[in-house]
Amino acid sequence: MKRFWQTGVVLALLVPLILSGCSADNAPSSAEARRTLCQTLNSLREATSGLSQIDANTSVSQLRDMRERVGRWVEAARLANTVLQLQQITEMVNAFDSFSRAVDTLNPDVRVGAATAGLQASSAQILTAFNQAYRVAQCSQ
């Protein structure tokens, strides 16, 4: 149910932005795009909270759940960034993609173990890129 609600929120935020961008006459204003992006980034902040807590005892299934939650909001931020075109959002998406590929290489039936350092470094890149994007987008906390 919670996942359904989160998906509904993403769609509610993004559908008007995407639909209004269908023609140049109806393109969303920079202020509307920034507001939508900031709402998405605020939700992403909550989703990324677990990334800084990855350790050797984190199960790969927990990591994949984390990736799924974060991934929904990263994709929403990417879509919301179509108007503003902030490079920092692109960098955050790229950092997330790198993290996601690293998670894909792990055996789903084990704990993170020896892969901890690499995953922590990769998740730190996501968090750094997120913070830079948040600052550049001029979102208030």
Print pLDDT tens along the chain (141 aa): 555 455 555 555 555 544 444 444 566 688 888 899 999 999 999 999 889 999 999 999 999 999 999 999 999 999 989 888 999 999 999 999 999 999 999 998 889 999 999 999 999 999 999 999 999 998 875
* 111 Ramachandran zone, left/alpha/beta (phi>0; psi -120 to 50): beta
Which tokens go with 113? 């173990």
Enter the tokens of residue 47. Answer: 């989703």
* Model confidence, pTM: 0.78
CA atoms within 13 A on the CB side of 13: 26
- Which residue in this structure is represented by tokens 């991934």? 71
Dihedral, CA of residue 124, residue 102, residue 39 and residue 21, to nearest 10: 130
Look at residues 7, 113, 132, 1 and name the one whose alpha carbon lies nearest to residue 69: 7
**Residue whose structure tokens are 């050797």:** 56
Tell me how far apart the alpha carbons of residues 137 and 71 are, in angstroms, rounded to a whole number: 19
